[in-house]
Structure 1
Amino acid sequence: MAVHAATSVDIHRQQLEALCKPVVQPGQVIDLAAILSAAELTRETQTQRTQLVERIREQDQALQDQIEGSERVSALLAQYSEVDQFSLQQAAVESEFAQVDAELTDLTTESGSINQRIKDLSIEGQIASLNEQLSALSEEQSEAAVNAAVYAVAALLLSEQADLADQQNQPKLIERTSELARSVAPSWAGVRVIRDSESTNNKAKLIIDLENGAFIPANQLSTGARAVLYLALRLAVADEQSSRTGVWLPLICDDPLVHLDDERAPQAMALLAKAAQNRQVILLTCNKRSLDLAEQAGAQTLSLSD
């Protein structure tokens, strides 16, 4: 009886081990708690599987409803009942799409080229317009240059004629000044008055003509040459006034020889000696050379220090 019970227990144990083997980890001891936990896990897994199957069925039904409600999908399914046919059609559509996309790219490139050409034409139009304006301005510039040349030549001719008229109609005072100045400075051809074209009021100015054809404005003369000019001008003014009034007034000079070199100083003293023939000439000087020249010319000398 005891043997039979032990055998029955072994059989039940083997059956239990066979049932638990799928959920038991290697080396895990089989007890009641583990069995109950595995059973609970199995039950939950079965429940989730049932729910998942139900959701799949519902999704299939919803998809079927959508297909049946779409004429376009129904038509496609009717036309392409097999997957291969649908794949071929898909490939054809993709190929057509690629071709259209390539054509679109070409059209976009061509459009860009056309837009660039439009811009180029616009720039070319502007350049053409600017060239026309430049041409017109060049013509105006040429006309202005010709007119300027004409006016310049006319001004030069008028200036030359005015200078010639001035030379031919110099005042007697200037002619007398030239005569006196040449006796001291032989390199001078004469003295004359011209109109200063650079001044705003056409002011007259003195110039010195040289024997070599050149001329020097009076304000550019050296100190000695300017002294010769002023002495000649002063003597000419004195002679002109005396001739006009008949009165030969004394001439007082503050040594006009002091700035002259040894060559011109004697000639200037000769001018003063000649002027003393008709009037009294009083020469004030502290220069030994001027004193000696005056005594040589026959002047009476008086020292103010005496």
Structure 2
Amino acid sequence: MKLSALTTEKRNENSMELDQLSTIDILKTINQEDKKVAEAVADALPKVENAIEQIYQALSKGGRLFYVGAGTSGRLGVIDASECPPTFMTSPEMVQTVMAGGMGAFVNAVEGSEDDERQGAADLKERNLTKHDVVIGITASGRTPYPIGALKFAHSIGAYTVGLSCNENALISRYADCEIEVVVGPEVLTGSTRMKAATAHKMILNMISTTTMVKLGKVYENLMVDVHASNYKLLERAKHTIMEVTNVTYEEAEYALTLTNKEVKPAIVMLECDTTYEKAKYAIQQSNGYVRKAIDYLNKNQS
């Protein structure tokens, strides 16, 4: 399919006079189009669910998740992957981004790098990809060679593959075990897929990483109990999380964190079950990292 025939490249009838509009009318036009993004994402949820189930199974068995993209698509992957260690205390290896042109392309565009299909495969090979990993190729058009090359290689070695695009019957979908096609329609600024298409993909990547981490036990209720308290803000968040769950004072939460090396999970279990750090850690290990199960485990075994 020619680039000009793609939905993401078509002209938007609602913005044909964009250059003649007042500032507020430009903003209203963009806003009206942005409202369509959530609806398009909602239509894609069954496919997103399928992808998450596979990602969860892979990560729970020691596999890794790779985002692969060029330009804006690659930058979205970098943003999502880089937030996983501080938010969920994952290792940097668990969720990674492979970006056309290398990580320097995050700041400065490396023109032409997206057109190299073989490099997409080569860059994944450098990460020692295995059949236990999952690869998500991100491309608004669905036809970018770099992520397609990555998915072809991943598929060839038995890794689970996901194609994330914004066009129906996207080329990348042919090489994906799960195709997520979020059809947001033509952009306000023709072909500028950093707008609606990128917003849709950001929303879906948020869903994928957050839901997977919930399923991996890194969330209790709706709280970040695996937060890496590496700075003042995150340490304060850790204290308030403990206070929220256990109803202790600020000082008690602060003291609990000194006993657990700033780890929130064992602090909560210690306080909820009136137990030691060692027993709390053991219960968490026995419960595969799930706070709720750890509390239940200790309550049953201490009574």
Q: TM-score range by the shorter chain?
A: under 0.3
Which one has the largest radius of gyration? 1
Which structure is higher in RCO with an 8 Å CA cutoff and minimum separation 6?
2
Question: What TM-score do you get using the length of structure 1 for normalisation?
Answer: 0.23
TM-score normalised to structure 2 length: 0.23
